[in-house]
Amino acid sequence: MIQGFNPRTGEPAGKPLAETTDAEVDAAVVAAAAALPAWAGSAGEERARALEAVADALDARAGELVPLADEETALGETRLTGEVARTTGQLRLFAGVLRDGGYAGAVASPPGGGMAEIRRINHPVGPVAVFAASNFPFAFSVAGGDTASALAAGCPVVVKAHEGHPGTSVLTAQIVTGALAGAGAPAGTFGLVHGFEAGIRLLTRPAIGAAGFTGSTRAGLELARLCAEREVPIPFYGELGAVNPVVVLPGAASGQGAEIASGYAGSLTLGAGQFCTNPGLLFVPEDAAALPGAVADAVGASSGAPMLSERIYKGYEASLAEIEAHPAVTAVAAGTTGEGPWGATPRLFSASLAEFAADIPVLSRERFGPAGLMISYPSAGDLIPVLARLGGNLVGSVHGDAGSAADLAAARQVVAVFERTVGRIVWNGWPTGVAVNEAQHHGGPWPATTVPAYTSVGSAAIRRWLIPVAYQGVPAELRPGPLAD
Amino acid sequence: MIQGFNPRTGEPAGKPLAETTDAEVDAAVVAAAAALPAWAGSAGEERARALEAVADALDARAGELVPLADEETALGETRLTGEVARTTGQLRLFAGVLRDGGYAGAVASPPGGGMAEIRRINHPVGPVAVFAASNFPFAFSVAGGDTASALAAGCPVVVKAHEGHPGTSVLTAQIVTGALAGAGAPAGTFGLVHGFEAGIRLLTRPAIGAAGFTGSTRAGLELARLCAEREVPIPFYGELGAVNPVVVLPGAASGQGAEIASGYAGSLTLGAGQFCTNPGLLFVPEDAAALPGAVADAVGASSGAPMLSERIYKGYEASLAEIEAHPAVTAVAAGTTGEGPWGATPRLFSASLAEFAADIPVLSRERFGPAGLMISYPSAGDLIPVLARLGGNLVGSVHGDAGSAADLAAARQVVAVFERTVGRIVWNGWPTGVAVNEAQHHGGPWPATTVPAYTSVGSAAIRRWLIPVAYQGVPAELRPGPLAD
């Protein structure tokens, strides 16, 4: 049985839900496969209208969705209201992508050298399995970015709901299913399954053509392995964990110290630190006298919040125990513990660059929650080689004084390292807060993502679900619509 | 030791060559990694000129390259002269891709909703390992499409030479290295290693960012596994085997029977059938009275040629023994055996659709050589579900009479199946002969390729070596050239 809980009380939220049986999973996949020809073959405009219908329906029911999600996640009404808007905004973004048409990648090469004309266009990869995340009950869940982009691409979708918000998942799925049916989408275009075993079975059904996942590194790598070991392997687009290094350069440390301290604490504790974009590592200049104290004060003055689940809370506590016990690390600040049995305490630790460099695997580990490690570095020259040894991250941030030649010179080196090790580089800002637009790249080198060439946020996310087919000398009446001319 | 052989005589060709040692492999990778910042950071125009210098140098030495390759492969002067031109054409194509600049995927999204401006651009993935193929000593070898596209992307390249043409590989590498140095490319931009163990070591060096491979399904899947099991997995773009079904529809069978028969035999026996695009399966209508005989006559009148190596020859013979012993299969024609100890004999076999459908795994197996299986089908309605059960292929061909409503209706169904199961659909033509242009897609669903979203031929091949990075609020002076504005 799947049971949601109220993180503010630890008490059950809503009724228990049966796990999806093998037969039910298979039926959802069969229905998705049956829907594929009609959904894949529908005009972009039809799918655009269907996505907009889903967006409109979700917006219309936000008044029910938000309190339900708040009961199951304790993320708060403001955040969740914003997240519904982001979610419906994503659906409408992809409607725009469909109307623009560029996603299809239609291109023609004229005949030449004895070779016939070739035209190429992208086709949907097949039914897609989407694994919902715990920390975004809307934007990375049942009707989130993976679902929106896959549906836009022409792929039917079967979502494996996250067990942390089952009631929200069921209501969202009902709304999505109804809106799609009302917009004329074939039955089976969308399905929902519940339970760990159901997710495994879903991923291993032969008809599934690709999978999207947002979640922990451990779970993601395990599912990636299953995909690779299928009789026919499929692409697994996993967006996993990250520690997202932030580098403060000397000019910024002295000129913008107060803003940096409060900004850091804000980003670190946002959403109880339960973001893959959480700034887990903060590199500050050794001689930035005031900054470490200001950061410690800001984190000390911050407040925690209920974590999403007992499992996440216990994981955070274990992670804190690990770093507290580390001989190279000093505990420097603790904020106010969040309410309820699973309330997170914001924490700040510190280490020197040399100490950090001596145990990067442990000290750069993601601690899913509001825990930061502040690392003091002697000079940019010392920092750069250590920074280059970090694993792949979603985001790297650098704070500098654009008017300082020294900061700019150091920033150039930091950016050069980040260009090889992160998916997004932020200047004088924070990694949390991911804009949903055309230029966004929410990805990054392994293990931040399993397929670093792709993004899971923004218009380009649709590319994960498309594969090209070339048509050589094929008459217009046999080519797909956009290639027909 | 690596020893080339003359396929026309079975005698050694050239002197034996030492296998590359572990230390030498490591040195090549260290040099490639050291070259990365300068090569990746060079302007597109610089890399374009370097690629053109390589092309010019290869063209200037074609008079030496062609006889050397002919001695090691017996592919013949005409074919090899054409292949050098294709190879230098590919290098110049990517020079054009660099000058066009679209490959960089530069895009900007304006600030909005409290979010800073984001710009995104593609970066080279890192040093690339290229595994050369036996059957294209130039176009898919040391200076072939993988090398050209990776160098264009800004990736240093280390090639694992194919042991079938070591002398050609060494001379090509000397020419490439000299031309790159003359064009100002950093030392280490290009390297060459020899030997099976050297290839494995190359693939597993941490500094290697991606790999390209053209060759057998067995070798490709083994290397793909190694890439997936690395501490940091890397993308492995393998172009593996295929049987490339050809469907002849009734209208074409009656109206174009003679051209189809001679065209099929020509495509089947081209290059002694040693192409991944070889048309291994020919589906003909049961009631096409004259066609099967005409195809049998054409294959019977055809000539074989020396195969590339004893290993390939023995593999082909074993593959023939397997299909000859199959109870459902009839041997219907044999052409003239090629010269030398490894001369291939063109062969044609036949089976009914029902017999074929009863053992698809064995009967749709690639037989690397000029062996075709002709399958007679009762009706398009019977054929379609069987066709849909084939594994992924690089190419699917359909021959039809565009003036026949029945052929067009059946072709629509065949194309719909091919759109899910092949990378390129050919109308009234043959799968061999792969145009190198913008619209080409030389790829296909697993196991035709290990990453079906990408092509290994044509301009789009550069995409395999690029990963995006987003810049959020980063000042112009810290952004890469094309994003600086």
Q: Which of A222, A239, A317, A324 is catalytic?
A: A239
Chain B residues inside the 8 Å CB shell of A232: 391-392, 445-447
* H-type alpha helices, A230-275: 250-255, 257-269
* Residue B35 clears pLDDT 80, i.e. is over it: yes
* B388, B396 Cβ separation under 8 angstroms: no
Residues 6+ apart with CB under 8 A from A447: A217, A220, A221, A240, A241, A391, A392, B232
pLDDT band at B297 (very low <50, low <70, confident <90, very high): very high
| Contact (Cβ atoms closer than 8 angstroms) between residue B436 and residue B457 | yes
Residue of B nearest to A224 (CA): B228
Nearest CA in chain B to A114: B435
pLDDT band at A408 (very low <50, low <70, confident <90, very high): very high
Please give the helix or strand (H or E) that residue B377 lies within, else none. Answer: strand B371-377
Q: Which of A415, A440, A463 sits opposite B478 (nearest CB)?
A: A415
Distance from CA of B118 to the nearest CA of A (A): 6
d(CA A461, CA A463): 5
Instruction: Compute the C-alpha angle B310/B313/B315, nearest 5°.
Output: 110
Say whether A127 sits in a helix, a strand or coil.
coil
pLDDT of residue A468: 98
Say how far apart CA A455 and CA B254 lie, in whole Å. 51
Nearest to A454 by CA among A179, A273, A239: A239
For residue range B163-206, list pLDDT tens digits in order: 999 999 999 999 999 999 999 999 999 999 999 999 999 999 99
| CA dihedral of residues B330, B336, B340, B344 (deg, nearest 10) | -30
Contact B268, B299 (CB under 8 A): yes
Identify which of B314, B300, B301 has the alpha carbon closest to the alpha carbon of residue B343. B314
Q: How many CB atoms lie within 10 A of CB A327?
A: 7
Active-site residues of B, by number, are 239, 276
Region A95-117 average pLDDT: 95
Give the pLDDT confidence of B226-262 residue by residue, as tens digits. Answer: 999 999 999 999 999 999 999 999 999 999 999 999 9
How many whole angstroms from its chain centre is CA B191?
21
CB contacts, 8 Å: A446 with chain B: 232-234
The pLDDT of residue B134: 97
Say which of B392, B412, B439 has its CB closest to residue A118: B439
Cross-chain Cβ contact B412/A478 below 8 Å: yes
Q: Which among A440, A441, A473 has the least Cβ separation from residue B429?
A: A473
pLDDT at A80: 98
Label residue A135 by pLDDT band (50, 70, 90): very high
Peptide bond into A447 cis (omega under 30): yes
Binned at pLDDT 50, 70 and 90, residue A418 comes out as: very high
Q: What is the pLDDT of residues B329-385, one digit of tens each?
A: 999 999 999 999 999 999 999 999 999 999 999 999 999 999 999 999 999 999 999
Closest CB to B425 among A463, A469, A477: A469
Q: Which amino acid is at A23?
A: A
Q: Which helix (H) or strand (E) holds A65?
A: helix A62-73
Q: Do residue A473 and residue B426 have CB atoms under 8 angstroms apart? A: yes
Whole-number percent of chain A with pLDDT over 70: 100
pLDDT of residue A113: 84
Taking residues B9-35, report their average pLDDT.
Answer: 98
| pLDDT tens digit sequence for A242-298 | 999 999 999 999 999 999 999 999 999 999 999 999 999 999 999 988 999 999 999
Q: Which chain B residues touch A415 with a CB distance below 8 Å?
A: 474, 478
Collect all residues of chain A within an 8 Å Cβ-Cβ radius of residue B37: 416
CA distance A127 to A29: 8
pLDDT at A481 (0 to 100): 83
Phi and psi at B437, nearest 5°, equal -150, -170
Amino acid symbol at A388? A
Average pLDDT over residues A21-48: 97
In the prediction, which pLDDT does A7 show? 98
Looking at residue A484, its pLDDT comes to 79
Compute the distance between CA of residue A228 and CA of residue A226 in angstroms, rounded to an integer: 5
Residues of A in contact with B485 (CB under 8 A): none
Residues with Cβ < 8 Å from A103, sequence gap 6 or more?
A97, A122, A152, A153, A459, A462, A463, A466
Residues A383-400 pLDDT 10s: 999 999 999 999 999 999
- At B289 the pLDDT is 83
The pLDDT of residue B482 is: 84
Residue from A249, A472, A474 to probe the interface with B (highest B Cβ count within 10 Å): A472
CB-neighbour burial class of residue A48 (10 A; exposed 0-12, middle 13-18, buried 19+): buried
The 8-class DSSP code of residue A472 comes to E
Evaluate if pTM is beyond 0.90: yes
Sort out which chain A residues have CB atoms less than 8 A from B123's CB and list them.
Answer: 419-420
A403: pLDDT strictly greater than 80: yes
Q: Is A267 exposed, middle or buried (0-12, 13-18, 19+ CB in 10 A)?
A: buried
pLDDT of residue A397: 98
In the numeric block, the tokens 């089952």 are attached to A166
**H helix intervals, B104-185:** 145-153, 166-182
HEC string of B241-283?
A: CCCCCEEECHHHHHHCHHHHHHHHHHHHHHHHHCCCCCCCEEE
Average pLDDT over every residue of A419-448: 96
On average, the pLDDT of chain A sits at 97
Q: Model confidence over B191-201: pLDDT tens digits?
A: 999 999 999 99
Counted across chains A and B, CB pairs separated by less than 8 A come out at: 193
Distance CA A454, CA A392 (A): 14
Question: What was the pLDDT predicted at B483?
Answer: 87
Answer yes or no: are the C-beta atoms of A407 and A250 closer than 8 Å: yes
Q: What is the mean pLDDT of chain B?
A: 97
Q: How far is A113 from chain B (nearest CA, A)?
A: 8
pLDDT at A301: 98
ipTM score of the complex? 0.97
B274 and B378 Cβ atoms separated by less than 8 Å:
no
Q: Which residues is A115 bridged to in the sheet?
A: A112
CB B451 within 8 A of CB B392: no
Q: Which residues from chain B sit within 8 angstroms of residue A428, using beta carbons?
A: 473
B99-102 contact pairs (CB < 8 A, 24+): B99/B44, B99/B45, B99/B48, B101/B44, B101/B482
Contact B220, B392 (CB under 8 A): no
* pLDDT of residue A485 exceeding 80: no
Phi, psi (rounded to 5 degrees) for A208 = -75, 130
Residue of B nearest to A421 (CA): B469
Averaged pLDDT, B89-115: 96
d(CA B51, CA A39): 44
Quick one: pLDDT at residue A111? Answer: 96
Q: Which residue of B has its CA nearest to A207?
A: B420
Contacts of A317 (CB under 8 A, 6+ apart): none
User: B472 to chain A nearest CA, in Å?
Assistant: 5
Contact B141, B169 (CB under 8 A): yes
Q: What is the pLDDT of residue B276?
A: 96
Q: Band of the pLDDT at A407, cuts 50, 70, 90? A: very high
**CA gap B416, B436 in Å, rounded:** 25
Residue B345 is encoded by which pair of tokens?
A: 């004999």
CA distance A170 to chain B (A): 30
Residue to substitute from A478, A479, A485, interface B, most B β-carbons within 10 A: A478
pLDDT at A192 over 90: yes
Cβ of B453 within 8 Å of Cβ of A466? The answer is yes
Give yes or no for residue A366 having a pLDDT over 90: yes
Q: What integer pLDDT is reported at residue A482 of this predicted model?
A: 84
Residue B433's closest chain A neighbor by CA? A115
Burial class (CB in 10 A: 0-12, 13-18, 19+), B24: middle
Please pick, among A52, A71, A163, A276, the residue that the annotation labels catalytic.
A276
Local confidence band at B129 (pLDDT 50, 70, 90 cut-offs) = very high
Q: Tokens at residue B246, please? A: 């050809």
The fraction of chain B above a pLDDT of 70, given in percent, is: 100
pLDDT over 90 at B481, yes or no? no
Q: Concatenate the DSSP letters of all residues of A164-217 into one string.
A: TSHHHHHHHHHHHHHHHHHTTPPTTSEEEE-SHHHHHHHHH-TT--EEEEES-H
CB A79 within 8 A of CB A194: no
The set of residues, in sequence order, having a beta carbon less than 8 Å from that of B133 and lying 6+ positions away, is B140, B141, B144, B162, B214, B215
Q: How many angstroms separate the CA of residue B108 from the nearest CA in chain A?
A: 5
